[in-house]
Amino acid sequence: MKNLLKYTYLLDTKNIKKNIENLWDRYQKIIDSKKSSWEDLNEARAILYFIGYLYPEKIALDSLEKRIEYIRPKIGLDEFLSAIDRKNIRILKKYRKNKRFNQLRDFYLIVKDIKNRTKNGTYLDEGRFNKIHNKLKPKNYF
Amino acid sequence: MKNIVSGKVTIIRSEKDYYKIRKETILIAENTHPDIVIAIKKIKAIVTEIDNKLCHAAIIAREFDIPLLMGVENATKDFKTGDKVIVNLDNKAIHKIK
């Protein structure tokens, strides 16, 4: 998570993607294993919270809000996000060769990929996670 | 995209609720889930309690060009499935219609 934050500061999209996938793989490994302990499951819970909420909705959004200010010609964040999600040809054409725009677009698409990810029929495989969580939850849970 | 939309409400409390949508509706949820795509063609507008440009509802509304009103506190409590409402994006408001 520390590395993901570091590469987000650097806007190194290749390593951002790599670190997100590493976290996802670790999360999957924990919920796949029948040997996973309550402590392991809480590591999975931390990853789930981080990649499902904290990273996209707080850290990545904050990064996008700050970096969009550096793009010239100026573009607002709402316009930027809409242009990408709605595939607005006019705007995408305007910024086609804009290095900063394209870098920020790649970053957003990586974030969106994890934010929209489903597995085994539920968001971020939450169904399976919740099932194991309830099974391993100690009776004296506090 | 329309800035004023009216219709009947469907309250979403779990992913299963998306599968019950049969008619066009205004969807109200704390936030949305990826299962929303099952009913996407029947959704006239989305109203959420959460307010975040990268939340799932915001992404899906942009992708499918669906009117979205975010940050409506207690929306899932103040409205119920079947209520007739009008959503005004210009005023960022939702009201019941009698």
> Can you give the pLDDT at residue A120?
87
**Band (A123; pLDDT cuts 50, 70, 90):** confident
* Six token digits for residue A35: 């040997």
Chain B residue with the nearest C-alpha to that of A78: B53
> Can you give the pLDDT at residue B24?
96
- How much of chain A exceeds pLDDT 70, in percent? 100
> Can you give the pLDDT at residue A8?
98
Torsional sign, CA A42, A27, A60, B40: negative
| Nearest CA-CA distance, residue B98 and chain A, Å | 34
Strands (E), chain A: 118-119, 122-123
Residues of A with CB under 8 A from a CB of B: 56-57, 60-61, 64, 77-78, 81-82, 85-86, 111-112, 115-116, 118, 122-123
Radius of gyration of chain A, Cα coordinates, nearest whole angstrom? 18
C-alpha distances (whole Å) from A106 to each of A47, A62, A103, B93 are 22, 16, 5, 34
State the CB neighbour count (10 A cutoff) for residue A83.
20
Residues of B in contact with A82 (CB under 8 A): 62
Q: Is residue A47 over pLDDT 80?
A: yes
> Can you give the pLDDT at residue A81?
98
> Can you give the pLDDT at residue B35?
84
> Can you give the pLDDT at residue B1?
76
Residue with the larger pLDDT of the pair A121 and A6 = A6
> Can you give the pLDDT at residue A41?
96
> Can you give the pLDDT at residue B45?
97
Question: Nearest Cα to A126, choosing from B31, B73, B42, B11?
Answer: B31
> Can you give the pLDDT at residue B47?
98
Residues of B in contact with A111 (CB under 8 A): 54
Residues with pLDDT less than 70, chain B: none
What is this structure's pTM? 0.91
> Can you give the pLDDT at residue A40?
96
> Can you give the pLDDT at residue A7?
98
> Can you give the pLDDT at residue A9?
98
> Can you give the pLDDT at residue A122?
84
* Cβ–Cβ under 8 Å, residues A4 and A19: yes
Q: What is the DSSP letter of B81?
A: T
Among A22-26, A118-122, B19-23, the range with the most confident prediction by mean pLDDT is A22-26
> Can you give the pLDDT at residue A52?
94
* Residue pointed to by tokens 């495989």: A125
